[in-house]
């Protein structure tokens, strides 16, 4: 952890577009940015136990299959708050982030630290990374009422920018189709056939493209951050809105 200057709106915008996560503690220090960012990029909404659901397992699949879906958090900066503040914040419909560390050592003597995160969003649901599910309680109600005795750091958003979530499919003919949620978009994507496009003597097969992104209203304009699509590995980029005639 390093000592940092107070977070600003401009820094929050910069970090959001470069897709890194930052959290400042009460003592003025900041959590490890690479470790926190990696942990936040591992968030999923459910956990399927390997013992019963892995394709390698020979045990009967007694539980119904449920596919995990990734969560992408549109807040880049966080600040430490108390347990009471976290509970009140969540009751107000504002997301809360729970953070914990777990040090370990294997029989060969190698040591390491797991960075565990649990993201609670009253609108989108609860998401956590594998380290959290392995070492910390999944009962968030018990955490808030003090029943769980564990070293957990509570974090609230430091700066929030308005955003909208979009699920779209670009069909092979170039038309853009927008859907209400991820499940509808995937279902729609599966209905679009590929098309053969000829260019002289060459014929190319063109497939539909699925895209999932946030559009965030930042001080410098509206930016798109793609989480699945042709620019999913790039930084956020400015959206040029078409001017009305």
Cβ–Cβ under 8 Å, residues 61 and 34: no
Higher pLDDT, 182 or 40: 40
Q: Tens digits of per-residue pLDDT, 161-207?
A: 999 999 999 998 889 999 998 889 989 999 988 888 777 678 888 88
CA-closest candidate to residue 160, choices 117, 118, 216: 216
pLDDT category at 55 given cuts 50, 70, 90 is very low
pLDDT at 104: 84
pLDDT at 30: 95
Q: Is 211 exposed, middle or buried (0-12, 13-18, 19+ CB in 10 A)?
A: buried
Mean pLDDT of the chain: 84
Predicted TM-score (pTM) of the model is 0.80
Mean pLDDT of all residues in 41-66? 49
Cβ–Cβ under 8 Å, residues 156 and 86: yes
Task: Give rounded-to-5 percent helix, strand, coil for the chain.
Answer: 20, 35, 45
Q: Tens digits of per-residue pLDDT, 87-141?
A: 999 999 999 999 999 888 877 777 889 999 999 998 888 999 999 999 988 788 8
pLDDT at 1: 60
């Amino acid at each position: 952890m390093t000592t940092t200057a107070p977070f600003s709106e401009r820094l929050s915008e910069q970090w959001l577009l470069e897709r890194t996560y930052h959290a400042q503690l009460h003592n003025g220090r900041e959590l490890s940015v690479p470790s926190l960012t990696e942990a936040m990029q591992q968030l999923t909404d459910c956990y399927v136990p390997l013992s019963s659901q892995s394709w390698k397992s020979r045990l009967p699949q007694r539980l119904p299959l449920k596919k995990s879906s990734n969560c992408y958090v549109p807040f880049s900066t966080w600040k430490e708050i108390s347990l009471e503040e976290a509970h009140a914040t969540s009751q107000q419909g504002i997301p809360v982030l729970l953070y914990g560390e777990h040090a370990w050592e294997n029989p060969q003597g190698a040591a390491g630290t797991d960075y565990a995160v649990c993201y609670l969003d009253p609108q989108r649901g609860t998401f956590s990374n594998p380290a959290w599910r392995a070492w910390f309680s999944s009962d968030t109600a018990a955490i808030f009422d003090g029943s769980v005795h564990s070293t957990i750091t509570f974090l609230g958003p430091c700066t929030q920018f308005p955003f909208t979530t979009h699920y779209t499919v670009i069909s092979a003919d170039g038309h853009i189709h927008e859907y209400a949620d991820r499940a509808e978009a995937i279902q729609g994507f599966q209905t679009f056939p590929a098309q053969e496009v000829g260019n002289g003597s060459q014929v190319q097969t063109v497939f539909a493209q699925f895209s999932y992104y946030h559009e965030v209203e930042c001080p410098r304009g509206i930016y798109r951050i793609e989480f699945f699509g042709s620019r999913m590995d790039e930084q956020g980029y400015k959206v040029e809105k078409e001017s009305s005639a």
